[in-house]
Amino acid sequence: MVGKLFGTTGIRGTANDFLTPEFCSKIACVFGNYLNEKFNAKNILVGTDPRTSSDMIKNAVISGLLSAGCDVYDSGITSTPSIQYAVKEKIYKFDAGIMITGSHIPIDRNGIKFFMPDGNEVYGKIEEELENIYFGDKFKRASWNEIGKIYAADAGKIYKEMLLREGIKVSKEEKLTVIVDTGHGAQSYIMPLVLRELGHKIITLNAQMDGFFPGRPSETDKKNLENLMKVVQTLNADLGVAFDGDGDRSIFVDDKGKYVMGDITGAIIADYLMREGDIVVTGISTSAIIDYVAEKHRGRIIRTKVGAADVVGAIMKNNAVFGFEENGGSIFPTLNLGREGGLTAVKILKILHDKKKKLSEIIADYPKFYQIKEKIQCKDELKNKLTLAIKERIRTEYNDAKIDETDGVKILSGSGWILFRPSWTEEIYRIFAEGKTESEAEELIEFGRRIANEELNKLV
Ligand code: MG
């Protein structure tokens, strides 16, 4: 029997329900077998976030790897980008990696992310191969004299050195006050230290690692960062930065205490990195602010399906200089082949230093776009039918409409756009609209909502 284990990123599920020690050990043994066979890879770096179930899952994963004959380098609690970076760099002998993390999902759940010898996350065809080996029981156990050993490792230390090299050390006069909200997650022990070593005044929020997440949930959306916004305002700080649970994404709060969308942060970094003709990759739902940046540099934007794996894939295929997602995941491919919450924070501080401007002033230099995001309830089995129905409706009623089918249906209209896209993690269907003015965005979202509801009603 062949089934599906991998979701949008790695394997996720409820701790001790789907993610039992038995399951975690078996899938890790499968991964160890795959690495042995395809890459002759033996040394696996393992890290975890601070979730309550992470130690249990880690120990099961380690057992599975040892039984496949792999040696394990246990890095303890550390961020996802630190594992990816340490594997990619090859300064130590790590051949591949596993990160145990629930990232931003609810506290009773957890997950396992697998990293290949080049530091990229396992996805697509390799996921299917691993599932085939798992369900077909097509893997070997090492004989008694080839069982692996466990060693201690410190991916965080390797990662920290890279961040310090990539950042800029400021003088006493230039130092900024930065409020760092690590959300009880994996970046808690490293990012406050890195930013302090770069010369800034750091005040931490939620920086004690705690799998119960008493201060805030690990997702960095606006409602979870209200405290951070208030603290930045009250203390008159220059910047606020928040990380998600495994530290691969970061979101900023400007000097006025305003939440900054990941699209804007991504556009600011792209603007800083792009040279004439360069390529930047982002998801289909990212704001047109990035098109403005690309035009300025006579560069090109490639838009992919929503999700880090697709963005990384397109970066590698097109030799792009940078990639990002609107949720605050930025990818700097020469340094790390995955989302990089820590590096993003270090680069934003470098940009503030180089431009000698506040973040709110930098943002004000860009054209403003207005976005509205909505969702409607929709059962999984109706989602693809709804996408098709919306596409047909737009084609017949507006035959000159420009339609982009990269992910769902995106319609370009005037200086704005609407995107209809199913969510596969919840029973909802998303509608995004963006316009040059607030009223244009409102008109577009109203149109989108009406079309989606009418077509959904015909299906139920
Ligand atoms: Mg994450």
Q: For the chain, which residues make up each domain, given as ranges? A: 11-158, 176-259, 261-340+348-367, 370-459
CA-to-CA distance for 392 and 390, rounded, in angstroms?
Answer: 5
Position 399 scores a pLDDT of 83
- The structure tokens 């934003």 sit at 348
Measured in Å, residue 58 CA sits from the centre of ligand 1 at: 18
Measured in Å, residue 248 CA sits from the centre of ligand 1 at: 5
Q: Which CATH number fits domain 370-459: 3.30.200.210, 3.30.310.50, 2.40.50.140, 3.40.1390.40?
A: 3.30.310.50
Measured in Å, residue 97 CA sits from the centre of ligand 1 at: 16
Catalytic annotation, pick one of 103, 250, 285, 287 = 103
Measured in Å, residue 326 CA sits from the centre of ligand 1 at: 13
CA-to-CA distance for 197 and 157, rounded, in angstroms?
Answer: 13
Measured in Å, residue 144 CA sits from the centre of ligand 1 at: 38
Measured in Å, residue 296 CA sits from the centre of ligand 1 at: 31
pTM: 0.94
Domain 11-158 shares a fold with domain 176-259: yes
CA-to-CA distance for 201 and 197, rounded, in angstroms?
Answer: 9
For ligand 1, a single-atom ion, the residues with CB < 5 A are 103, 244, 246, 248
Residues 61-111: tens digit of each pLDDT: 999 999 999 999 999 999 999 999 999 998 889 999 999 999 999 999 999
CA-to-CA distance for 128 and 79, rounded, in angstroms?
Answer: 26
Position 91 scores a pLDDT of 82
Taking the CA atoms of 92, 93, 95 and 96 in sequence, report the sign of the dihedral they define: negative
Specify whether the CB–CB gap between 228 and 215 falls below 8 A. Answer: no
Architecture of domain 261-340+348-367: 3-Layer(aba) Sandwich (3.40)
Higher-scoring residue by pLDDT: 8, 179: 179
Q: Is the pLDDT of residue 50 over 90?
A: yes
Nearest Cα residue to 269 out of 178, 181, 332, 312: 332
Nearest Cα residue to 361 out of 369, 370, 350, 352: 352
Position 1 scores a pLDDT of 44
Mean pLDDT of 337-363: 98
Fold of 176-259: Alpha-D-Glucose-1,6-Bisphosphate; Chain A, domain 3 (3.40.120)
Residues 99-117: tens digit of each pLDDT: 999 999 999 999 999 999 9
Those residues with Cβ within 8 angstroms of residue 79's Cβ, 6 or more apart along the chain or in another chain: 47, 49, 156, 159, 185, 186, 187, 190, 243, 246, 247, 248, 341, 342
48: which strand partners? 77, 100
Confidence of residue 2 (pLDDT cuts 50, 70, 90): low
Residues 303-335: tens digit of each pLDDT: 999 889 999 999 999 999 999 999 999 999 999
Residues 383-417: tens digit of each pLDDT: 999 999 999 999 999 888 899 999 999 999 888 99
Average pLDDT, the chain: 96
Q: Is domain 11-158 given the CATH code 3.90.1150.10 in the classification? A: no
Measured in Å, residue 109 CA sits from the centre of ligand 1 at: 13
Position 240 scores a pLDDT of 98
Measured in Å, residue 230 CA sits from the centre of ligand 1 at: 24
* Residue 103 annotated among the catalytic residues of the structure: yes
